[in-house]
Structure 1
Amino acid sequence: MRFFAASFYLLTFVLCTSLLLPQSALAQSERIKDFNQNGWYMYFGDHALSDKWGLHTELQIRRYNYLSDPQQLLIRTGANYNLTENTMFTLGYGFIETYPYGEFPAADDFLEHRIYQQLQLKGNLSRLGLTHRYRLEQRWVQSPVTSDYTYLNRARYMLRATLPLVGSTTEAKEPYLAAYDEIFVGFGNNIQRNIFDQNRAYLALGYKINDAASVEVGYLNHIVQKANGVVFEHNHTLQVGLTYNIDFRK
């Protein structure tokens, strides 16, 4: 019950903040909306090396106009440490390359190097599985004009829920529904006007193939505030994801 109450209050906070922070930008300047259609094709894996330690691997190929044009390449890895059965800490690195896209494209391709720290908590409310994910990021973002790097800090919080469509829990060879909301907030030096960075709201149909693998196909409503604080991207995104967790202890 405490886990459910915390989930409810945090979800309320996330939704309210994601609505209010963009509105505060409107008080300073007129918002320009940029509507895009994207496709994200993703692989995730958390691989157990021992009872306590594991390895996170991730690859995301993000495309503009669903498939035809490049949007972004993301490669992320990390070391997992299981604090308890349902609590995991991750320290990792991400490499990101972003390409010009949309009505307000960047001047050229640019790179980002990222270090992150993450805490993930899992629990259940009857048939509903809940996951809280807290992430801090230290980002070195390249300028597409000068190639110089700017250091930025960002905090992220995600609440994800899964609901099995057949049994009481998500078991092998069963479909399920998945939904999450994640808010991104910038802080520290060099943030300027976009304290609210972005918000992601997601709904998908998933299928658990076996104990190690699952696939999801869903829709992501993705709102991004550009660095100038004026342009807001509204990205309608198709997401196709494969999760495959290898247990190297066996």
Structure 2
Amino acid sequence: MPSAIFPYKKIFFAFFLLLNGMVLSSKSQAQGNPPRVIDPNFNGWLSYSGDHNLSGNWGLHAEFVMRRYKLYKHPMQVMPRVGVNYNIGKNIMLTLGYAYVHTYPYGEFPASDDFPEHRSYQQFFFKGNVASLFFQHRYRIEQRWIKHAGRKDFLYTNRFRYNLRASHPFKGTTIDPKEFYVAAANEVFINAGKNVANNIFDQNRASLLFGYRYTKELAFELGYLNQIVAQRNGFRFEHNHTLMAGITFNFDFPARTIDNEPAPAPAPTEN
């Protein structure tokens, strides 16, 4: 019988394994480059996301992310994202979508001006559990059109992303309404294509979050994200310490027609 006692050691051991993998991946990129320049920043991210069933297996994804530099003092990025979902079963979902990203100058080595990005993406998501530990896997392929500051044309690149998230209730074996939970996540980003500059490795995000599931459809999360970003010059790396706050609201328009129990969505670590 699964223990109702909260398994702190398991959660934090998994989190530090993910964080260690992030550091090793980042260090491997430094070989052969000029001495690394570290740009530490302190940011704040706010996000809303929701998956909404429409009819049968089809649904919509809606998301908005606002990122600020120096916690919430200066603009950093804004990103609306939409998508069309297809639920293969209660634990597997495919998504095809579009995002617009607008980036502002920030950090000790800011861009000369703000710049836009258009992005299409394809996503495979599935979830499962081992006893009272709930896992979510997200694989995403992105096609990016970026107009960097000072450029006249958009630059096209591809990017691959993998996100692993584990969550656990503070009591009991399931994350039910009116209950708190904790989640650890890690996501790695890999560049691909002929326009990749000096880094195949793009970035890594490791996070630890505390959540409250208010209802079956609505959840709130607050936590810390450690983000390492490799800039295009190959030797400058951002180390971003980030306070995150997110809302997930998975309401449906008609009555649900498939057994697809909503659960806390992946941590709001989108880009």
TM-score tier after normalising by the smaller chain length: over 0.9
Question: For residue 163 of structure 2, what is the aligned residue in structure 1?
Answer: 158
Please state how far the C-alpha of 1:47 moved relative to its aligned partner: 0.4
Question: For residue 123 of structure 2, what is the aligned residue in structure 1?
Answer: 118
Distance between the aligned counterparts of 2:160 and 2:18, measured in 1? 12
The alignment-based identity, stated in percent, is 50
SS of aligned partner of 2:108: coil
* Native 8 Å contact 2:18 2:206 kept in 1: no
Please state how far the C-alpha of 1:20 moved relative to its aligned partner: 3.6
1:177–1:21 CA distance, 2 compared to 1 (3 A): closer
1:127–1:17 CA distance, 2 compared to 1 (3 A): closer
Please state how far the C-alpha of 1:168 moved relative to its aligned partner: 1.1
Tell me the amino acid that sits aligned with residue 136 of structure 1. Answer: I
Q: Cα deviation per residue 1:143-201 (whole Å; 9 max; x = unaligned)?
A: 21023210000000000011001221000000000110000000111112111000000
* Unpaired runs of at least 5, structure 2: 1-14, 256-271
Tell me the amino acid that sits aligned with residue 178 of structure 2. Answer: K
The match for 2:146 among 103, 116, 141 is 141
Asked if residue 171 in structure 1 is aligned to residue 176 in structure 2, the reply is yes
Question: For residue 50 of structure 1, what is the aligned residue in structure 2?
Answer: 55
Q: Which has the higher strand share?
A: 1
* Native 8 Å contact 1:14 1:183 kept in 2: no
Question: For residue 94 of structure 1, what is the aligned residue in structure 2?
Answer: 99
Please state how far the C-alpha of 1:17 moved relative to its aligned partner: 5.7
Question: For residue 29 of structure 2, what is the aligned residue in structure 1?
Answer: 25
Distance between the aligned counterparts of 1:103 and 1:37, measured in 2? 11
Which aligned runs of 4 or more in structure 1 are off by greater than 3 angstroms?
11-21
Tell me the amino acid that sits aligned with residue 22 of structure 1. Answer: S
CA RMSD in angstroms comes to 1.6
Q: Cα deviation per residue 1:16-72 (whole Å; 9 max; x = unaligned)?
A: 763344223322221100000000000000001123000000000100011110000
Distance between the aligned counterparts of 2:75 and 2:197, measured in 1? 28
Question: For residue 5 of structure 2, what is the aligned residue in structure 1?
Answer: none
TM-score, normalised to structure 1, is: 0.92
Distance between the aligned counterparts of 1:23 and 1:150, measured in 2? 27
Distance between the aligned counterparts of 2:151 and 2:40, measured in 1? 27
Distance between the aligned counterparts of 2:253 and 2:51, measured in 1? 11
Distance between the aligned counterparts of 1:20 and 1:37, measured in 2? 22
Distance between the aligned counterparts of 1:184 and 1:151, measured in 2? 16
* Native 8 Å contact 2:133 2:168 kept in 1: yes
Please state how far the C-alpha of 1:15 moved relative to its aligned partner: 6.0
Tell me the amino acid that sits aligned with residue 31 of structure 2. Answer: A
Distance between the aligned counterparts of 2:144 and 2:191, measured in 1? 11
Tell me the amino acid that sits aligned with residue 229 of structure 1. Answer: G
1:19–1:93 CA distance, 2 compared to 1 (3 A): same
Please state how far the C-alpha of 1:249 moved relative to its aligned partner: 1.5
* Native 8 Å contact 1:110 1:147 kept in 2: no
SS of aligned partner of 1:18: helix
TM-score, normalised to structure 2, is: 0.85
Which structure 2 residues correspond to residues 216-235 of structure 1 after superposition, within 5 A?
A: 216-235=221-240
1:121–1:177 CA distance, 2 compared to 1 (3 A): same
Question: For residue 41 of structure 2, what is the aligned residue in structure 1?
Answer: 36
* Native 8 Å contact 1:212 1:245 kept in 2: yes
